[in-house]
Chains A and B, each alone.
Chain A
Amino acid sequence: MINQNAVYTDFLIVGGGPAGCMAAIRAKEMNPEMEVTILEKAEISRSGAAGRGMDALNNVVVPGIGTVEEYLEAVEIVADGVFDPEISKVIAERSFGILQRLEDWGVAFPRDKDGDYIVNQFHPKGRFLVEMRGELKKIIAGETRKTGTRIFNRHPVVDLIKDGDNIGGAIALDLESGKPRVFLAPTVLLCTGGAARIGLSNTGYLHGTFDCPWCNGEAWKMGYEAGASLTGFEYTAQSSMTRDFNGAGQSTFIRHGAWLVNGLGERFMERYDPDRMERATAGVRGRAIIEEEQAGRGPVAFSFSHLPPETVDLIESAVFDVERPTMREYFENKGIDLRSDPVEVVMTEVYLCGGHGLAGLVGDAWGETRVPGLFAAGDCLANPYGFLAGAMCMGEAVAERVALRKARRPESPDTDERMENLENLIKRHRKGSLGVPVREFEYKFRRLVNEYVAPPKSARKLERFLKETDSMAREQDDLPAVDPHQLMKVFEAKAGLFCARMAARASLFRTESRFGLYHERVDYPDKDDNQWKTRVLITVGPHGPLLEKERP
């Protein structure tokens, strides 16, 4: 039976970040008649990881500076051989076109004295970061609105609808009314970011994370349950960030030449990667920072005192004026002046991310998952080190594929069954018989991630995590939620626990050490050449998750 109150659309986009907005714009360009709808958890002009601002477009193959081949070599190094070159190739080939579109729309790309883009190196190889200024997200959101795309803000998606083997739509929670709403569509794009709240931040503050804390892997859980495959969950990423602030700086500091120094004032990366120094792969840099601390040579810090004053000005304008204005106040509160003071660094909490790491939904070169009609893009899609430009490139690619499909209505969507399940679940959460606040629940599993899933990993610890969290997985549907916001937090926490348990399973399955710090197995301390270029896929099976190896 078809739900009478359902909203029909040709192309349903879950998440209005850069990937989702770019997909909507491209779809309407390809076919202005197409009904395109965005469901957004926040408000699209400020939502997601890029909502406040971004100081560089990362990564772009700028003609004359980089090549597609060089970009693929760079991704192979940072992903330690474990990536799908087809997707990275799409990103490399489209990236400069994205930059040109953004510039046409009014996003600022400062030029050097010769009138060229300012392109810096952050990765171990090649220059792909283009300096950027202006209100990127507001501009993209404005362009999206011009297309006539229907936008439902404050509508987090909580379940997917199937139409036989195909995707059939999604159910969102209207945060104003607290009621679920049905959206039916033959094609659905998931682009809700990564999962930020997996490990516990060093401060203990639950939302004090490196990545956007309102993205917590909900689409990964829903996509997996609908039949799509996940990959890269053993790549438990951590970033080297300003102590306690956690949220911004690393790539800005490194690409402009900041040094990592230990407590003795030594530029210690010499010991760990003398060729690449601070531009070593993230896992090697993370390992180095931890080793310096453990050897008693901490605290580790970024140092800027060797840089010319104009470079420090550039760093400050990038971070303070564009990316995170609150960082200026943070440094002022701490009495830190970049011209003279080092900025202490810690490794952040464990997180999972498709564009900053390896974790995500598995898609083909057009972002389509194993479920026909279900696509992924942005940090939701496994597109190692695609970052911001990769999100927009894949948003475009998905839209072009969707535009070629004949519009049709889902024939027999499982809406009634899904809605009944969801309404029963919401009733359970209103009752909340577990009696434990969701914050306490979240704190507990994230503390356990720090103890058992974060490196150094071992089979004993990973199995222990799964055992310790078995009861949490059983109890999670009885977490109390008395209002729509709390209900959203419960769904986020459940997705976080799901991701953490998948990270433990994938980490158990990859019986080698790889990715520097991120997947150090003390019981398998060496790299296994047979596992090079091999991904770990996780797919739902009749008795739980099925794990398998795959060479893309």
Chain B
Amino acid sequence: MNLSFDRECCIGCGACVEHCPGHVLAMGEKDQPFERYPDDCWYCGVCQVECPEHCIEVIFPYLIR
């Protein structure tokens, strides 16, 4: 996984899902976003800057860490 969502902080607004340029994210149960297609992440950070509550941490893919 390339992203860590702070579940306590997430308000389920879906901004990260809406803006992800790679169609990587989706909304799961209880309006919680998750990485549906983690292999397609460019770690561009759009989800991070779009999150109004700053709940997302980018974790670099293991291959480039």
B45, A207: Cβ atoms closer than 8 Å? no
B44, A51: Cβ atoms closer than 8 Å? yes
B22, A42: Cβ atoms closer than 8 Å? yes
Q: Is B39 an interface residue (CB 8 A)?
A: yes
**Nearest chain-B residue to A196 (Cβ)?**
B42
Within the complex, what minimum Cβ distance (angstroms) separates A478 from chain B?
21
Question: Which of A43, A205, A324 is within 8 Å of B63, CB to CB?
Answer: A205
In chain B, positions 1-49 with a C-beta closer than 8 Å to chain A are: 18-23, 36-37, 39-46, 48-49
Q: Is A326 an interface residue (CB 8 A)?
A: yes
Question: Which of B39, B40, B50, B58 is within 8 Å of A46, CB to CB?
Answer: B50
Assembly CA distance A326 to B23 (angstroms) = 19
Assembly CA distance A329 to B2 (angstroms) = 13
Q: Which residues on the B side are within 8 Å of A42 (C-beta)?
A: 20-23
- With contacts A42-B23, A325-B45, A326-B58 taken as known, whether A485 is within 8 angstroms of B36 at the C-beta atoms is yes
B22, A324: Cβ atoms closer than 8 Å? no
Q: Is B52 an interface residue (CB 8 A)?
A: no
Which size class do B's interface residues fall under?
20 to 34
Q: Is A489 an interface residue (CB 8 A)?
A: yes
Assembly CA distance A439 to B39 (angstroms) = 9
Within the complex, what minimum Cβ distance (angstroms) separates B11 from chain A?
19
**Nearest chain-A residue to B18 (Cβ)?**
A43
Within the complex, what minimum Cβ distance (angstroms) separates B19 from chain A?
4
Taking chain A's interface residues, is the majority helix, strand, or loop, or is none over half, making it mixed? loop
Which size class do A's interface residues fall under?
20 to 34
A46, B19: Cβ atoms closer than 8 Å? yes
- With contacts A206-B39, A244-B64, A333-B60 taken as known, whether A46 is within 8 angstroms of B21 at the C-beta atoms is yes
Within the complex, what minimum Cβ distance (angstroms) separates B42 from chain A?
5
B63, A204: Cβ atoms closer than 8 Å? yes
Q: Is A45 an interface residue (CB 8 A)?
A: yes
B19, A43: Cβ atoms closer than 8 Å? yes
B61, A485: Cβ atoms closer than 8 Å? no
**A208-216, A299-307, A536-544: which lies at the interface:** A208-216
**Nearest chain-B residue to A40 (Cβ)?**
B21
Q: Is A330 an interface residue (CB 8 A)?
A: yes
Assembly CA distance A249 to B43 (angstroms) = 15
In chain A, positions 433-461 with a C-beta closer than 8 Å to chain B are: 439
Q: Can you list 21 contacts pairing A with B, beta carbon distance less than 8 Å?
A: A42-B21, A43-B21, A46-B21, A46-B46, A48-B21, A51-B44, A51-B46, A203-B63, A203-B64, A204-B63, A208-B42, A208-B64, A209-B42, A213-B22, A214-B42, A324-B44, A325-B45, A325-B48, A326-B58, A326-B60, A333-B60
Q: Which residues on B are within 8 Å of A, measured CB to CB? A: 18-23, 36-37, 39-46, 48-50, 58, 60-61, 63-65
Beyond A46-B46, A47-B21, A485-B37, 8 extra complex contacts between A and B, CB < 8 Å:
A43-B21, A45-B19, A46-B50, A208-B63, A209-B42, A325-B48, A329-B60, A439-B39
